[in-house]
Structure 1
Amino acid sequence: MNYIAAIDAFHGMHTSNQFTAFMLDGKQAGNDLNCQRLLIQSLLLFPPEDRADKRLQQLQHNQMCSWLNKIQNASQKQLCVRLPDGPIEAFLPSMPAEFEQLSRFMSCSDQWLREQVQAVWNANPDLSCYMIISNEFIFEAMLRGLFSAAQQCGIESMSILLPLVSRCREVQQQNIFASQCALDYNIICDLGIEIATPRAIYFAAELAAHADVIVFNVDELCWLLYGKTKNTQTGNHSYHAFGLHETPFNEFDDIGIGTLLGVAIQRIRAQNPDIRLCASGKYVLTEKGKQFCQEIGIHSLIADIQQFSSAEHT
């Protein structure tokens, strides 16, 4: 399978900006991304009670338009869409300007908004629950926007990649909605699961029972295993204290990461021998990484799951 379009439809809405968008008589005005952010914030802070909520209809329409712009030239390719991975916290208002604009958008008081934000924090103390599955109506509206756009673009089959999975419940829940949406829009859809945390390695077999494809995000696995962020500049000497003779961030780490992948693949194969396995990131594209993936039975390599890219088959 060629993964060519792993796109985040909410890109640009995870951080606060100076908002210029408002809802005027139910119609959208101003910058589209800002409108969508305000709309999503209103849905999170005042959750919809059923599918008839007009805000959900507008979210679905906005998402459809966003996806049309992204996938309109992809009808002849095998499409893979990586769903957004932003946690709830990324969408909650925090700056005074955000509260001011959102209160105007929702026609409510600043104080009420702050109370609702606190209520969301209380309900999700660590805010680890991804926004897209925190409310089934929001998630369904987003998916229907995606599948509607795919249908209009003449796409007959596609893949959905669930990012940063940390619980089997997430996969089961999202799989149900994705399968139903695909059926409604007459699109053949398979499900991919991204394993990007060391924790997910240890219940990889359970995840494999619900997926057609497993994608190992090797870069994320490496950063989390050794406690490094993407933007951290760290020299080799810092790792000597941890018993490492060289940094694992210049070359594929066949000992640490290699062992994790070996454990995961062994468990996955025992559960689902026919599942397709992929690996993504710059480390697996090194000569050492390519050789390891070939020997361990990983079928495809993906240059960067965040961008349009073609899988390099091993």
Structure 2
Amino acid sequence: MVQLIYNVKNVGILPGDQGTVPDGILYDGKLPGETERYIWEFAPEQQRSRWKELFAACPQERVIIRLSGSILEDAQKKSVPLSFDKCMEMLIRAAESCGREELMILFPSTGIPLDQLRCLISLFNISAADSTLLCRTGVEIADPQAALMAEEYAKIADFIIFQTEELTKTMYAIANGDAREVVCEYMQDGIFEQSPFCTFDSVGLGTLLLFAICQANTAKKGICFGAAGKPIEEPQGQKFCRENGIGWMLFDAPAA
């Protein structure tokens, strides 16, 4: 069965308040109303307090924290007052104090060399070694090069999440600001029958995902997969997920 995960922007809005109750949430640590400010940019006890607010407000057992922004920068820079492992310790302790049983951490692959990503995941695992939580690490794949390296990511991670809109943009070399104009032009010229951002492109995106899934399964039996983006929200995309072992579909949480 495919599970529904909500991408939550505002920790003050409980997932499910608008109708559908998801099986989990994905949160990137950015605080609402504080532009470009992430939880890990605060002092230790403030970090722990804000994470506790998140865990206390979320009834779902599955919580995925996506690492982004300053947490991945050099710990000596002013934007990160704590080292990476100390930030992870604050997150883990907050989850434990709220009685959580599981914590999932999602690492980006774009812009991070494999050796560095391997080191960051190792640091997190060391921080979680004495925890009572079931801690799992994942890798987010958002470009074709990363998809072709799925076998290597599977060796160091417990799950993989595919960002289908970003994969589609980079696969067809379409810049964010030009997407609508370029797609319209391609449809007029007969290159696209339909927009690959609004429908599931089984030939391009589907083939790339199948290759990545096959490679990852070869490297690690039982690895979990998720997918996000509009292409997998429509019926053909959902069918693809069900038939090819993608167990989580990630949607943006409904607006309040």
Give the TM bin, normalised by the shorter chain: 0.7 to 0.9
Q: Tell me the number of residue pairs that the alignment of Structure 1 and Structure 2 aligns.
A: 225
Matched, 1:132 2:72: yes
Change (3 A) 1:236 1:200: closer
| Contact 1:75/1:155 (<8 A) preserved | no
Aligned to 2:91: 146
1:300, CA displacement in angstroms?
A: 2.5
Matched, 1:268 2:208: no
1:170, CA displacement in angstroms?
A: 3.4
| Contact 2:4/2:249 (<8 A) preserved | no
1:76, CA displacement in angstroms?
A: 5.8
Aligned to 2:181: 234
1:257-280 CA-partner distances (Å, limit 9, x unpaired): 111112111211221122112212
Taking the aligned partners of 1:254 and 1:2, their CA distance within structure 2 comes to 21
Aligned to 1:222: 168
Taking the aligned partners of 2:46 and 2:89, their CA distance within structure 1 comes to 11
1:2, CA displacement in angstroms?
A: 6.5
Taking the aligned partners of 1:282 and 1:238, their CA distance within structure 2 comes to 20
Taking the aligned partners of 1:61 and 1:242, their CA distance within structure 2 comes to 57
Aligned to 1:7: 27
Taking the aligned partners of 1:171 and 1:151, their CA distance within structure 2 comes to 25
The Cα RMSD (Å) is 2.9
AA in 2 matched with 1:207: Y
From the two aligned structures, give the one with the greater helix fraction.
1
Could you tell which deviates more after superposition, 207-216 or 176-185? Answer: 176-185
1:41-85 CA-partner distances (Å, limit 9, x unpaired): xxxxxxxxxxxxxxxxx63222212212211133661222112x2
AA in 1 matched with 2:214: Q
| Contact 1:2/1:78 (<8 A) preserved | no
Matched, 1:201 2:147: yes
Paired residue for 1:251, among 193, 199, 212?
A: 199
Taking the aligned partners of 2:90 and 2:28, their CA distance within structure 1 comes to 13
Identity %: 26
Taking the aligned partners of 1:132 and 1:250, their CA distance within structure 2 comes to 32
Could you tell which deviates more after superposition, 247-256 or 228-237? Answer: 228-237
Which blocks of at least 5 consecutive residues in structure 2 are unaligned?
A: 6-23, 77-81
| Contact 2:225/2:246 (<8 A) preserved | yes
| Contact 2:55/2:95 (<8 A) preserved | yes
| Contact 1:143/1:181 (<8 A) preserved | yes
| Contact 1:197/1:221 (<8 A) preserved | yes
Structure index of larger Rg: 1
AA in 2 matched with 1:140: D
1:163, CA displacement in angstroms?
A: 2.6
1:171, CA displacement in angstroms?
A: 2.9
Paired residue for 1:79, among 63, 81, 91?
A: 63
